[in-house]
A and B are shown apart, each in its own frame.
Chain A
Amino acid sequence: EVQLVESGGGLVQPGGSLRLSCAASGFTFSSYWMSWVRQAPGKGLEWVANIKQDGSEKYYVDSVKGRFTISRDNAKNSLYLQMNSLRAEDTAVYYCARDRTYDSSGYYGMDVWGQGTTVNVSS
């Protein structure tokens, strides 16, 4: 079964750090771009970051640049999000997703999602 399982969420004080993990199974992890997407309480989806198959390209939404780092370990079939200098506005459910990326025909979408892990930034 193709599956993504996130972990590492929790309550953290403003300015603190947290590392999210996403364990992949049931597919060839090293063949796919991977993304983190978050959803603040009662709000819409927000793309956070993505990473190429070999980790050579990484992209971030402006609001997390310089604070968050996306990484992956293909040997462990795992995706990570290191979050530093956390702010109240980072409070959200964080999803990892398999990204089929695009070619000249179009964008193929994020077809596999985890169940999400909740990050709460509060004093």
Chain B
Amino acid sequence: DIQLTQSPSFLSASVGDRVTITCRASQGISSYLAWYQQKPGKAPKLLIYAASTLQSGVPSRFSGSGSGTEFTLTISSLQPEDFATYYCQQLNSYFGGGTKVEIK
């Protein structure tokens, strides 16, 4: 099975900061990667699919890049509503361990 490793697992940032989260796959997965945001007590929300395509309705401050084994999710200017946990997911199965973004 392909493993997804996210880093960092936790980050503390301020409103307006640029934030980058990395997801590494144990084997090449081309562009078969999606990113989700989850807030406490809520279902996950799809942000990015096919590694770099923004889901409809998601603010343009979110972007995704990468292919093969290394992927990044970037928030260009962190907003108060962005404090949440972020997950990568490969193909239509396994998720990464998550990255919790908290207020500094």
Q: Which residues of A contact B (CB under 8 A)?
A: 33, 35, 37, 44-47, 50, 59, 61-62, 95, 99-102, 105-111, 113-116
Contacts and interface: CB of A to CB of B under 8 A. Distances in A.
Contacts of B48: 109
B44 A113 contact: yes
Interface residues of B, number: 30
B43 A47 contact: no
Given A102-B32, A102-B91, A111 B46 contact: yes
B62 interface: no
Given A44-B87, A47-B95, A50-B92, A106 B46 contact: no
Interface stretch (B12-20, B50-58, B76-84): B50-58
A108 B48 CA distance: 8
Given A109-B36, A110-B44, 12 more contacts: A37-B44, A45-B36, A47-B89, A47-B92, A47-B94, A61-B94, A95-B43, A102-B91, A107-B31, A107-B91, A109-B55, A111-B49
B31 A105 contact: yes
B34 interface: yes
B99 to A, nearest CB: 10
